[in-house]
Amino acid sequence: MSPGVLLSLLFMTGLVAGLVDAIAGGGGLITIPVLLGIGLPPQIALGTNKLQASFGSGSAMLTFVRSGTVILHDCFEGIACTALGAGLGTYMVQRLDPGVLRHIIPWLLFTIVLYTLLTPRLGRADIHPRMSKTWFYLLAGIVLGFYDGFFGPGTGSFWVMALMLGLGFNMISATGYTKVMNLTSNITSLGVFIIGGSVLWREGLIMGAGQFIGAHLGSHLVVSRGSRFIRPVFITMVLLITIKLIWQNYH
């Protein structure tokens, strides 16, 4: 494959992944197989993926902030806790085998799909929070930040569900605030990967340009179309991630 064709493929991969990820999460389901498919070692693929994903989550976050969906000063505690968790997770993944998580996570994701299907009104409107903001972000930020740094698939889905159940957010707000946390864990993990020399800059930046455009388009669709649009895409992406992880575990 010529360099021009390869870079075009990476750009389009980033664009499609950014569009999907901004709506329902699961962009890594698209980008990581492509990075591995062009011959990158797993560690380099993960590091480069964090670089390009940072552009997508950053672009989506900006759109949600500008639309008023996200108020940044309301989630500083979440940003701090997520950064701490992501740093620890990325440090640990370079030293431990995340094999145990590979077997547990698909069934947790399947539970999310089942719960979403059985509660059709979930996320249509804000409800009363079940936890205080401080305790929620302390728990969810560290746990989900660690998970994103250590393993990653389905992080956005876990965040959306956690924000709806813990803080009572509607699905649009939960999707917006998820992008803030995704950006936090992406940048934190990226920093650790850079220190370890596990990032390809040219490939990551080309994909990042596609991610930025795709995420901008996807987040505008979320804001304009609402929860009725997000819900089926969300369920579909979580199911695809679940099936992919189960397939990898047993083949």
Domain ranges in the chain are: 3-250
The model's confidence at residue 33, banded by pLDDT at 50, 70 and 90, is confident
52-100 pLDDT, tens per residue?
A: 999 999 999 999 999 999 999 999 999 999 999 999 988 887 676 656 5
Rounded Cα distance, 17 and 230, in Å: 16
pTM: 0.84
Do 185 and 31 form a contact (C-beta atoms < 8 A)? no
193-205 pLDDT, tens per residue?
A: 899 898 999 999 9
Return the DSSP state at 74: G
Q: For residues 150 and 106, which has the higher predicted lDDT (pLDDT)?
A: 150
Do 211 and 55 form a contact (C-beta atoms < 8 A)? yes
Alpha carbon of residue 156 to chain centroid:
4
Alpha carbon of residue 163 to chain centroid:
14
Question: 230 to each of 33, 239, 240, how far by Cα in Å?
Answer: 24, 14, 15
Both tokens of 78, joined, read: 């979440």
